[in-house]
Amino acid sequence: GAVVSQHPSWVICKSGTSVKIECRSLDFQATTMFWYRQFPKQSLMLMATSNEGSKATYEQGVEKDKFLINHASLTLSTLTVTSAHPEDSSFYICSARPPGVEGYGYTFGSGTRLTVV
Question: Contacts with other proteins in 28-87 (CB under 8 A)?
Answer: 32, 34, 36, 41-46, 49, 57
Residues 6+ apart with CB under 8 A from 14: 84, 116, 117
- Any contact of residue 25 with other proteins (CB under 8 A)? no
How many angstroms separate the CA atoms of 43 and 34, rounded?
15
| Binding window for other proteins (CB under 8 A); candidates: 13-21, 65-73, 79-87, 89-97 | 89-97
Sheet strands side by side (includes 4-7): 4-7, 19-25, 76-81, 67-73
Binding site for other proteins (CB under 8 A): 6, 10, 32, 34, 36, 41-46, 49, 57, 91, 93, 95, 97, 102-111, 113
